[in-house]
Amino acid sequence: DGGITQSPKYLFRKEGQNVTLSCEQNLNHDAMYWYRQDPGQGLRLIYYSQIVNDFQKGDIAEGYSVSREKKESFPLTVTSAQKNPTAFYLCASSNSRQGRNTGELFFGEGSRLTVL
Amino acid sequence: GNSVTQMEGPVTLSEEAFLTINCTYTATGYPSLFWYVQYPGEGLQLLLKATKADDKGSNKGFEATYRKETTSFHLEKGSVQVSDSAVYFCALSDFTGGGNKLTFGTGTQLKVEL
């Protein structure tokens, strides 16, 4: 089945450690996104990538880094510089090609990061 | 910039009650509008969408109409079920600069009781 796979589902980290969240999609979508979800704040965009080897900062990129070496993969690293990293992280993809872009995002099931 | 405002929750209803969750937006141009649903511990799923003024999106008994004159996209369902308990997010699409970035509201939690 086509979809988006995020791993791990739950992750615990000590302060000062970097951690990388995995996101893989087999939908053949060009664009991929990372959102952060906090209670009462909805979803906020961290980074997005429209094409391989290219990505742009979203609204809250500080303390995060990404790479897009393959179309299928868009890993997110939460660095020690992120002051409040405990949150639910959601990866998404979309078909952004002209004529096929319906505006819809397809989401993974999320990764919950807790900093101890 | 773009923004989405939706009513705060939680909204608690009895089964078979009528549901309305209000959503208003601010945007330049003519965005597409979406409702997403999130069940506990899961990611978001698209519930319905509308791409232009006066369009009505519908799915699983839920409906929402794109009202340009009032910049609104309110979600309605005539008779809710316990299984509808979830968090509902209103969102608009922003195609500026390429790609598709969604701007989300803060979400409205719905609890349906027997």
Best A23, A25, A33, A37 residue to mutate vs chain B (most B CBs within 10 Å): A37
Average pLDDT over residues A25-29: 94
Residue B95 predicted with pLDDT over 70: no
Q: Tell me the per-residue pLDDT of B7-29, one tens digit each, with 9 for 90 and over.
A: 888 999 999 999 999 999 999 87
**B28-37 residue pLDDT tens:** 878 899 999 9
Q: Is the pLDDT of residue B96 over 90?
A: no
Q: Which residues contact B28 (CB under 8 A, 6 or more apart)?
A: B2, B96
Q: How far is B79 from chain A (nearest CA, A)?
A: 26
pLDDT value, residue A72: 97
Residues in B closer than 8 angstroms to A33, CB to CB, are 101
Residue B42 has pLDDT above 70, yes or no: yes
Q: Which of A74, A104, A112 to mutate to test the interface with B (most CBs of B within 10 A)?
A: A104
Which residue would you say has higher pLDDT here, A76 or A97?
A76
Q: Does B104 reach chain A within 8 Å, measured CB to CB?
A: yes
Q: Residue B99's pLDDT band (boundaries 50, 70, 90)?
A: low
CA dihedral A52, B3, B72, B34 (to 10 degrees): 20
For residues B36, B40, B42, B44, the Cα torsion angle rounded to the nearest 10 degrees is: 10
Contacts of A109 in chain B (CB under 8 A): 41-43
What confidence category does residue A98 fall into, taking pLDDT thresholds of 50, 70 and 90? low
Region B82-109: what's the mean pLDDT? 85
- Give the pLDDT of residue B40: 86
Of all residues in chain A, the one with the smallest CA distance to B31 is A103
Please check the confidence at residue A103 and state whether its pLDDT lies above 60. yes
B 51-70 near A (Cβ less than 8 A): 51
